[in-house]
Structure 1
Amino acid sequence: MDTITTYLDSLFASLPDNDKTRQAKADMLANMRDYYRDLLREGKSEEAAIGAVISAFGSIDELRADLGMPAQATATTTQSDPTDAEEEADEDAITETELRSFWHMADQFATQIALGVLLCAVSIALPAYTGGGRWEGFGVIGMFLLAALAVGLFIWGGTVFSQQKKQLNDRPITASAKQLANKTTGEYTRQFAAGLIAGIMICIGSLIPPIISAYIPGFIIENAGGALFLAIAGLGSYLIIYVSINYSQLKRYAYATTAANSTAWYHDGTDDDAANYWEQPHKHHQNTRARQDIALFHQVYWPTVLIIYLLVSFLLHGWAYSWLIFIIGGVMQNIITAVIARRDYSE
């Protein structure tokens, strides 16, 4: 830590000694200490951690620019067009145009996956409805055709989505694009909640036809009760999966790391802006830690869900409804990963 303090003293030695620079120095030292301790906890040596901290927090030229000392950091630059700011930002940063294009593709992916799940449910409903009758063969044929179509949607949608997603992985985001992500996520939150509630209510309502079929003979034929259960539950699953995928991809970039150059262009010379600029490397480390925690969570979570599914299916003989565990598991996954990301981001 003495090396970091000495480096920071030398960095600020050529700057005026006033409240603004003292506050920026204190904020920067606190962030560097946090980053240094995090690196040590990850197993890095003291020398490697010090080198990583110093390299992550920039140079004297960047510091002077952020504090508004060079001529290029005047009010004229501050009032420049946001589009021009994006052009001057980190060339590797994600822009608004890329973000809108990705969200459009993510919406198509959500539709394909949700539709595939619905088709799987309907494919099982067909032989359940026609079983034991003269149309049983057509029900089985329809089941295989719909299942094949669903698998095709899963493969095609997953392949295209993964390729597009890789192009944006591990890239910072421009300040204006992050502002767009925050705004769009906030606007979609109500739609997400409505879709989630409606989907869950439809899944619960899907139990009504088989209950009526069992307790009111003749009102709904037995085969129709089971088939309606599968079809209605599939529709509820469609809504849950569709809004969950869209919301997760919107929210993902609301917590992304902002490109340093992009942040500098939006600097208005205040102390808060100076502190926010020098917090960027620490926020990037927080995002990396969040991704690591979420990856670890996924390694444990889905095997646990699978075990619960098998226990319910075999011990309680709940094959007719136990598949809903995966739908509920998908919803809970989004909620838990959001909590993990928010926790790591706020620390």
Structure 2
Amino acid sequence: METIRNYLESMFAQLSNTPEVWNAKNELSQMMEDKYNELRAQGKSDNEAVGIVISEFGNLDELAESLGIQRFMGQQVEQGKIFEESEAKKLIRDMSRAALIRGIGIFFFIICCVGPIIGCAIGDEGFGETMAEPMGVASLFIFIALGVGLCIVAGTMDSKWSFLKKGGYRIDYQTAEEVGRQMENYRMTNSLMKAIGVAFCVLCCVPVIVMTYGDNSNMKGCLGGAAIFFMVGIGVMLMVASSGRMAAFRLVLGLNDKSTIAGSYVPGQQENKYSNETVAKLMSVYWPTVTAVFLIYSFLTFHWWKSWIIWPIAAVIQAVINSFYGVNNQGGERR
């Protein structure tokens, strides 16, 4: 039956994603299954039963009129080259590694100022003042160089698959099902990594509070400030790495045209969250922007006990936007 199901999916893959086509597909599926079971009951082998079923029901042009989808047959989208499951696995692996490498590069960018901060603090305390500050400045350029190098490596790894964005490729039912399953299994990990990343950014002020409590020395203040950049860097790195793997899943699943049956093999291919394209683009950078606002306001005012309110306000705003512009999994508006 697996062979029959795959064959059926290929028959309907490029037809319009409409209720009529779905009903016809389900009807034909039931007919093929009944015929297969009948043949097996007559003593036919699996291969014989599959061959007879495909020969009898395998020509959709002949069955279109009886299934009520003849008017959709002329609307078939030209099929592109098959993107194999093995290639999809390589893409997901490469893009996941690239995202992690890019995240580490961004981490180095964020912590590049830690060296000068600590160097100045050591110099002010009178420990190795002749070498501390120059070494701190040197570490600034070293971290920036490492960040640039890692981002270039990540970009090179991603560019290997840039040809997919030009179109002309599609995935079959089996690949879509497997990649969709992997994406669903990864959702919890993705959410957890993002949550931990946000937590690191939100709690980045804790080291300063703890280290300077009751002893507001220059050294402890500088170390606390350095810890802030380390925590923010780790948080951003986790968010970038987790998002990169999800982007790889969506790239593969997005190869099929969403207006066709093939574009609806798995729920992950129907993740158009917003009915307005402008809103969708704005919301794609919503939480990074909120994080930036939180950090900028907190560092400028040092009112950490007040700035946390930015997060619940941002969540409420997102909920309001979702209620007006969100869409359900079937593509319809929520309102």
TM-score, normalisation: structure 1: 0.55
Question: 1:224 Cα shift?
Answer: 0.5
- In the other structure, the counterpart of 2:162 is 165
Q: 1:31 aligns with which of 2, 7, 18?
A: 18
Aligned length: 250
1:222 equivalent in alignment to 2:210: no
Question: 1:97 Cα shift?
Answer: 0.8
The answer as to whether partners of 1:106 and 1:161 remain within 8 angstroms in 2 is: yes
Letter of the structure 2 residue corresponding to residue 137 of structure 1: P
The answer as to whether partners of 1:173 and 1:258 remain within 8 angstroms in 2 is: no
- In the other structure, the counterpart of 1:109 is 98
Could you tell me which runs of 5 or more consecutive residues in structure 1 were left unpaired when the two chains were aligned. Answer: 1-27, 34-56, 58-63, 81-89, 260-277
Question: 1:99 Cα shift?
Answer: 0.4
Q: Secondary structure at the match of 2:161?
A: helix
The answer as to whether partners of 1:102 and 1:164 remain within 8 angstroms in 2 is: yes
- In the other structure, the counterpart of 2:230 is 231
- In the other structure, the counterpart of 2:50 is 76
Instruction: Give, in whole Å, the separation in 2 of the partners of 1:209 and 1:189.
Output: 31
Question: 1:295 Cα shift?
Answer: 6.1
Instruction: Return closer, same or farther for 1:289/1:191 CA change in 2, 3 Å cut-off.
Output: closer
The answer as to whether partners of 2:254 and 2:263 remain within 8 angstroms in 1 is: no
Question: 1:312 Cα shift?
Answer: 7.7
- In the other structure, the counterpart of 1:60 is none
The answer as to whether partners of 1:185 and 1:250 remain within 8 angstroms in 2 is: yes
Counting aligned pairs with the same residue, the percent is: 15
Instruction: Give, in whole Å, the separation in 2 of the partners of 1:315 and 1:203.
Output: 11
- In the other structure, the counterpart of 1:210 is 208
1:280 equivalent in alignment to 2:261: yes
- In the other structure, the counterpart of 1:137 is 134
- In the other structure, the counterpart of 2:194 is 196
- In the other structure, the counterpart of 1:126 is 115
Question: 1:239 Cα shift?
Answer: 1.4
Q: Secondary structure at the match of 2:226?
A: helix
Letter of the structure 2 residue corresponding to residue 76 of structure 1: V
Instruction: Return closer, same or farther for 1:185/1:315 CA change in 2, 3 Å cut-off.
Output: closer
- In the other structure, the counterpart of 1:176 is 174
- In the other structure, the counterpart of 1:346 is 331
Instruction: Return closer, same or farther for 1:185/1:143 CA change in 2, 3 Å cut-off.
Output: same
The answer as to whether partners of 1:110 and 1:242 remain within 8 angstroms in 2 is: yes
The answer as to whether partners of 1:199 and 1:238 remain within 8 angstroms in 2 is: yes
Q: Secondary structure at the match of 1:238?
A: helix
Question: 1:304 Cα shift?
Answer: 11
1:96 equivalent in alignment to 2:96: no
Question: 1:310 Cα shift?
Answer: 7.3
Q: Secondary structure at the match of 1:153?
A: helix
The answer as to whether partners of 2:104 and 2:237 remain within 8 angstroms in 1 is: yes
TM-score, normalisation: structure 2: 0.57
Instruction: Give, in whole Å, the separation in 1 of the partners of 2:96 and 2:247.
Output: 11
Letter of the structure 2 residue corresponding to residue 247 of structure 1: M
Instruction: Give, in whole Å, the separation in 1 of the partners of 2:294 and 2:238.
Output: 27
Instruction: Give, in whole Å, the separation in 2 of the partners of 1:246 and 1:312.
Output: 26
The answer as to whether partners of 2:172 and 2:262 remain within 8 angstroms in 1 is: no
List per-residue Cα deviations over 1:277-301 (Å, max 9, x = no partner). x9528869xx799599786446545
Instruction: Give, in whole Å, the separation in 2 of the partners of 1:213 and 1:235.
Output: 20
Instruction: Return closer, same or farther for 1:122/1:150 CA change in 2, 3 Å cut-off.
Output: same
Instruction: Return closer, same or farther for 1:342/1:202 CA change in 2, 3 Å cut-off.
Output: same
- What is the RMSD of the two structures over their aligned residues, measured on CA atoms? 4.9
Instruction: Give, in whole Å, the separation in 2 of the partners of 1:296 and 1:204.
Output: 28
Letter of the structure 1 residue corresponding to residue 18 of structure 2: N
Question: 1:158 Cα shift?
Answer: 2.0
Q: 1:147 aligns with which of 140, 144, 147?
A: 144
- In the other structure, the counterpart of 1:243 is 242
Could you tell me which runs of 5 or more consecutive residues in structure 2 were left unpaired when the two chains were aligned. Answer: 1-14, 22-27, 36-47, 55-78, 124-128
Letter of the structure 2 residue corresponding to residue 234 of structure 1: G
Instruction: Return closer, same or farther for 1:280/1:139 CA change in 2, 3 Å cut-off.
Output: same
Instruction: Give, in whole Å, the separation in 1 of the partners of 2:195 and 2:157.
Output: 29
Instruction: Give, in whole Å, the separation in 1 of the partners of 2:253 and 2:220.
Output: 50
List per-residue Cα deviations over 1:131-183 (Å, max 9, x = no partner). 25121111111111111221222233124313413335533211111011111
Instruction: Give, in whole Å, the separation in 1 of the partners of 2:270 and 2:238.
Output: 31
List per-residue Cα deviations over 1:101-124 (Å, max 9, x = no partner). 100111111111110111112212
Question: 1:315 Cα shift?
Answer: 10
Instruction: Give, in whole Å, the separation in 1 of the partners of 2:262 and 2:104.
Output: 41
Instruction: Give, in whole Å, the separation in 2 of the partners of 1:305 and 1:319.
Output: 20
